[in-house]
């Protein structure tokens, strides 16, 4: 009999939480033959990632996953063998009580946010006794063997390589998005939160001696982009040109399409957690816009990742990459930092592929979760 898994997702920031949990749920079904229910409190966000979904359905099946509306009026349901509360979300009180009275205990996991901070290794897998007698276990994604790893489908890198080796597939994909880049143009994807530093980066791209084509999926950065363009009301598919820079707004795409967008570009600016991980699997130089936290706690997380990521780079390339990431996340001028980065492009491109290979040599997050459950039994 298949083990049953419940994943609870509270949509906090647009698509990050649902992006991670939807990927995880699909992989647990497809690769581990599990019975998975994904509880989502905001189906509007889910439908953007899964266009075939029904925003009104209390219960539906998508790609083998049972997707349930997590409503404020909770209805009793059978507790699963494994219960995952994603990103410290609070499970319904009635469900927790049902866990307490379950004949055989369920494994209760708190799937936490991704971080490269040193303390994560020590907390990964630790139990947290609850006042009602239950135990909740902390499970941390991460970048080292002492963490839960990163989400990665078994065939992801093979699919990426096949796509890269098929120029016609790349061209057909870009054409499907309405992208017609001029020959030799540098394709860059931009998915970010609001950022006052965008203008200085766009100025540098526009002044470049090589053509740049910036592909911007619909999102929160569009306001800053329009202001730089003089409040030009860019609609999806429209383009604007300033100097060497062509800007194009893309429609919001599915997760699989977003992967292909990352694979199609030479440089990817990403945000949050889900797109950050997918950009690493793309094996391209990248720029991370980390989610802002109170008292600048996110800066510590940024620096912790950089400490891992820059290992193996020459001092000059390391300095250029660190300067760019800090400028983007600390509201500094991007122009000089971007131009310094360009001077080390070949080394940074090779490094991105090496980093991808190092991370791929570790167990992926879904496999680590399944193995943890088997060891727990």
Q: Catalytic residue positions?
A: 17, 273
Q: Which residues pair with 268 in a beta bridge?
A: 189, 286
CA–CA separation, 280 vs 262, rounded Å?
9
- In 176-284, the DSSP E strands lie at 186-190, 212-217, 239-242, 245-250, 267-271
Reference 274, options 282, 284, 266; nearest CA is 282
How many Å apart are CA 235 and CA 160, to the nearest integer?
30
> Hey, how many other C-beta atoms are within 10 angstroms of the C-beta on 254?
13
DSSP per residue, 325-354: HHHHHTT---HHHHHHHHTTHHHHHHHHHH
Contact 70, 40 (CB under 8 A): yes
| Alpha-carbon 102 to chain mean position | 34
Assess contact for 257 and 231: CB atoms under 8 A: no
């Amino acid at each position: 009999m298949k083990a049953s898994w419940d994943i609870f997702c509270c949509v906090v920031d647009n698509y990050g939480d649902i992006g991670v949990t939807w990927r995880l749920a699909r992989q647990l079904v497809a690769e581990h033959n599990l019975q998975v229910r994904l509880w989502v409190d905001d189906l509007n966000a889910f439908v953007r990632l899964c266009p075939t979904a029904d925003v009104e359905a209390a219960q539906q099946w998508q790609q083998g996953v049972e997707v349930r509306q997590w409503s404020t009026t909770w209805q009793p349901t059978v507790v699963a063998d494994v219960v995952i509360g994603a990103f410290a979300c609070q499970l319904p009180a009635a469900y927790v009580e049902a866990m307490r009275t379950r004949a055989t205990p369920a494994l209760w996991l708190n799937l936490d946010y991704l971080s490269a901070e040193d303390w994560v290794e020590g907390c990964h897998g630790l139990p947290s006794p609850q006042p009602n007698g239950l135990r909740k276990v902390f499970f941390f994604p991460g970048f080292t063997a002492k963490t839960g790893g990163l989400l990665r489908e078994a065939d992801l890198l093979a699919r990426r390589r096949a796509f890269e080796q098929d120029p016609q597939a790349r061209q057909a994909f870009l054409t499907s998005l309405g992208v017609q880049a001029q020959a030799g143009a540098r394709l860059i994807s931009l998915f970010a939160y609001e950022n006052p530093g965008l203008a200085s980066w766009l100025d540098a791209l526009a002044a470049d001696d090589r053509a740049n084509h910036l592909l911007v999926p619909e999102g929160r950065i569009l306001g800053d982009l329009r202001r730089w363009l003089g409040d030009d009301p860019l609609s999806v598919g429209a383009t604007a040109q300033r100097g060497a820079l062509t800007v194009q707004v893309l429609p919001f795409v599915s997760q699989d399409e977003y992967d292909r967008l990352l694979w199609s570009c030479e440089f990817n600016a990403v945000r949050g957690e889900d797109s950050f991980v997918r950009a690493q699997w793309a094996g391209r130089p990248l720029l991370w816009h980390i989610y802002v936290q109170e008292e600048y706690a996110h800066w510590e997380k940024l620096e912790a990742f950089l400490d891992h990521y820059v290992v193996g780079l020459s001092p000059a390339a390391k300095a250029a990459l660190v300067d760019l990431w800090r400028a983007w996340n600390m509201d500094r001028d991007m122009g000089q930092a971007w131009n310094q980065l360009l001077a080390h492009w070949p080394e940074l491109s090779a490094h991105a592929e090496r980093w991808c290979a190092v991370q791929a040599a570790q167990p992926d997050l879904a496999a680590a979760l399944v193995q943890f459950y088997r060891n727990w039994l």
